[in-house]
């Protein structure tokens, strides 16, 4: 994303529901589909620790 997005960020709400749909209509963003991947939401330090363990198992 370009720096110009900072001017358009909503004061309240999340960009996934407010800004991204508008950007998608204007073709300012697009998606990429990955196959054979794992995705984890990182919302806390505990999430980082748990994902780190998963990654260690994968790369060994």
* 42: confidence class by pLDDT, cuts 50, 70, 90: very high
User: Domain tally for the chain?
Assistant: 1
pLDDT tens per residue across span 43-59: 999 999 999 999 999 89
pTM of the predicted model as reported, rounded to 2 decimal places? 0.49
Instruction: Give the length of the chain.
Output: 60
Range of the domain at 25: 5-59
The C-alpha atoms of residue 22 and residue 16 are separated, in whole angstroms, by 10
DSSP-derived secondary structure letter, 12 = S
State both tokens at 41. Answer: 């939401």
Mean pLDDT of the chain: 88
């Amino acid at each position: 994303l370009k720096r110009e997005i900072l001017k358009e960020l909503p004061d309240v709400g999340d960009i996934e529901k407010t800004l991204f749909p508008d950007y998608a209509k204007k073709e300012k963003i697009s998606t990429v589909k990955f196959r054979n991947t794992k995705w984890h939401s990182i919302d806390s330090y505990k999430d980082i620790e748990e994902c780190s363990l998963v990654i260690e198992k994968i790369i060994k």
